[in-house]
Amino acid sequence: MITDQTTSEDFIHDRKHSYAHIKGWGIDADRKNDPTYPIKQRNNAEHRGYSWQRPLPQDKTVEILQSVERPNLTAVFGTSVPPAGISGMVRRVAFKYSESSYGRWLPLMLADRVQVLEGIVKDLSSGHIPNIPKELGLSSEWKYNRKAMLTKAAVGLLVAGAVIFRLCRSGKRP
């Protein structure tokens, strides 16, 4: 693994040994057999050893959750929306698992939904009442799809009315 202490020399492969003892070594090698062309511009790094001079590291001023598949932070990273609250706690747990685990991704989806509620609470506690219809972009629905919008609204009202009516009736029964 490449760590902050790793130098590029540490990654140079020592392949001075010979393959002469392997009968037929490389006899069918074909440089044209390369499905990565032209996307990947081969530079023999696969054989020479991956190494690079890392960019200067960005100062870490907020909490950054880091994949367990990395030994260190990348040289730069985004600093928007650090983990916080209950959703942040869930995210921290998720990041204990690798990217190949449901343990990583399902808690993150849960945290995303929890944070929606946290966002509403935060809005209200700061005196901001979210304009949900506006946030949903319903004015464009009204402008371009009015008939369908009214139909959906009417159906919704009818269903809601029927449910309420049914509940009221069942509540009156002895």
| Contact positions vs other proteins (CB under 8 A) | 35, 38-43, 45, 50-56, 58-59, 61, 64-67, 69-70, 73-81, 87, 91, 95, 99, 102, 105-106, 108-109, 111-113, 115-116, 118-119, 130, 132, 134-141, 143-145
Cis bond before residue 35 (omega within 30° of 0): no
Q: Smallest distance from the beta carbon of 167 to other proteins, in angstroms?
A: 27
Residue ranges in 8-137 assigned as alpha helix (H): 45-48, 85-94, 102-125, 132-135
> Is the CB of 18 or the CB of 33 nearer to other proteins?
33
> Is the CB of 139 or the CB of 165 nearer to other proteins?
139
| Beta-carbon count within 10 A of 113 CB | 11
Reported as half-sphere exposure (CB side, CA atoms, 13 A), residue 41 has a value of 0
Q: Smallest distance from the beta carbon of 119 to other proteins, in angstroms?
A: 4
Question: From CA 77, how far away is CA 59, in angstroms rounded?
Answer: 10
Report yes or no: 87 and 111 within 8 Å, Cβ to Cβ.
Answer: yes
> Is the CB of 145 or the CB of 165 nearer to other proteins?
145
Q: Smallest distance from the beta carbon of 159 to other proteins, in angstroms?
A: 20
> Is the CB of 15 or the CB of 42 nearer to other proteins?
42
Q: Smallest distance from the beta carbon of 24 to other proteins, in angstroms?
A: 25
Q: Smallest distance from the beta carbon of 1 to other proteins, in angstroms?
A: 11
CA dihedral 131, 137, 138, 141 (to 10 degrees): 170
Of 3, 9, 1, 16, which Cα lies nearest the Cα of 51? Answer: 9
> Is the CB of 139 or the CB of 164 nearer to other proteins?
139
